[in-house]
Amino acid sequence: MNLSDSQTGGSVPSVPRRVSAMEAVLTYLRHAIEQGEYAVGDKLPSEAELCRRLEVSRPVLREALRALQTMGLTASRTGKGTFVISSGPVEDPTFGDYTASDLLEVRRHVELPVAGYAAVRRSAEDLDHLTHLLERMERETDTTAWVAMDTLFHLTIAQAARNPVFRKVIEEIRDALARQSAFLNELGDRREQANREHRAIVEALSDGSEPDAVAAMAHHLQRVESTLSTIVRRGSETDDRTASPMKPPMEGQQE
């Protein structure tokens, strides 16, 4: 199966969603683990063997293996390889030291009031910084660079709220936010949608509207949660062509 033809159903069944080489490999390995082809305690084949078997490059495979760890299905042991630690189902991905559910709970209690305070306390300099950052994000095509700016965007809003405690909290979870952002971009194609949500937040801050800023941030966090839920559910909706051990995914054009 060539990845340029690899598709999974979206929210509208008649409109297929194209997937990347990394996602096709992840789907294949996740299905193999959840179906018991690799049992808890088993060691996955070496990277070289998986690359040969699945006909993908090592960077693509490593991204898929990192995603499996984020989902809590595998663990990497230095010098020994990757081992299956759970057969699923995936319920709560982990980003660094924090689970997705813990991050979302804290973000609702921190970033909503932060947005409201920033709307009434932000300076002209804050707005210039956020606008410039947003424009750079809208032009950026490299995921790693975009993710770095994404976390800086939220940190800058916390700075605009003029409360150092809020900024400290965002700094504490910054690494986890970056991991989550990269995960959502790889598997949820979130970048353009996130840019639109960020622009709505900046416009509310520019207007000085506390209710609008809170609402825009709430919408942004709701979309993050919705995308995470979609990614977690996707394993049970695997296309048989991708999941079949006789037809592993092969690397083709990536989007």
Q: What's the pLDDT score for residue 7?
A: 38
pLDDT digits (tens, 9 = 90+) for 176-224: 999 999 999 989 889 999 999 999 999 999 999 999 999 999 999 999 9
Reduce the DSSP state of residue 95 to 3 states and report it: strand
Q: Is residue 162 exposed (0-12), middle (13-18) or buried (19+ Cβ within 10 Å)? A: middle
Peptide bond into 13 cis (omega under 30): no
Question: In 21-80, which ranges are continuous DSSP H helix?
Answer: 21-34, 47-54, 58-70
Please give the mean pLDDT across all residues of the chain: 87
Contact indicator for 201, 115 with CB cutoff of 8 Å: yes
Partnered with residue 250 across adjacent β-strands are: 2
What would the two tokens of residue 244 be? 């079949």
Contact indicator for 43, 82 with CB cutoff of 8 Å: yes
Top-confidence residue, 168 or 11 = 168
Confidence of residue 237 (pLDDT cuts 50, 70, 90): low
d(C-alpha 152, C-alpha 134), whole Å: 10
pTM for the model: 0.80
Reduce the DSSP state of residue 68 to 3 states and report it: helix
pLDDT score of 241 more than 60: no
For residue 203, give Cα distances in angstroms to 51, 119, 129: 46, 10, 13
Q: In degrees, to the nearest 5, what angle opens at C-alpha 238 toward C-alphas 43 and 32?
A: 15
Top-confidence residue, 26 or 253 = 26
Confidence of residue 253 (pLDDT cuts 50, 70, 90): very low
d(C-alpha 37, C-alpha 32), whole Å: 5
Q: Establish how many alpha carbons lie within 13 A of residue 73's alpha carbon, considering only the half-sphere containing its beta carbon.
A: 26
pLDDT digits (tens, 9 = 90+) for 43-102: 999 999 999 999 999 999 999 999 999 999 999 998 899 999 998 878 899 999 999 999
